[in-house]
Amino acid sequence: MLYFYGNKKLMSIKVKNGIEISPSGYLFNTETGESFVLNATGAEILEYLRIGMNTENIADKMSEEHKIDKYRLLSDLEDYLYLLKQYELITDEE
C-alpha cells in the first residue's frame, strides 16, 4: 500500500529477513555478517517497520510522541530509509 503527502510517495517498507536488533541498538544482518550500531530513534523506526507500520503511521506516531513537525519528520525518515535501503536492510513493498 502506498501513501502520499504533497507530491511525495509514502511507502510501506519491510525489514528484510535475517536482520536482528538487540535492545541496545546493535543491528546484525545474519545473511551478510554486517553489523551496525543504531541510535534509539533508528532502532525505534526499524521496530515500527518490523511490525508493519508504513511511513505515514510512523511519522504520525513519532511526531506526536516526540513533539516534532510531521512533515520535517517525514523528510528525515525518507533520508534514513534511503540509507537502510542502500545497505540492503529493507525493501519497498510496492
> Residue 22: helix, strand or coil by DSSP?
coil
**Hey, what's the cell of 32?**
551478510
Averaged in consecutive runs of 10 residues, what is the pLDDT profile of the chain (94 residues)? 45 86 94 95 94 90 92 90 93 71
Residue 28: beta bridge partners?
Answer: 20, 35
SS3 content of the chain, % helix, strand, coil (to 5): 45, 25, 35
- Please give the pLDDT value at position 9: 56
Q: Please report, as a single letter, which amino acid is at residue 15.
A: V
Q: Count of residues for the chain?
A: 94
Q: Would you tell me how many other CB atoms lie within 10 Å of the CB of residue 51? A: 8
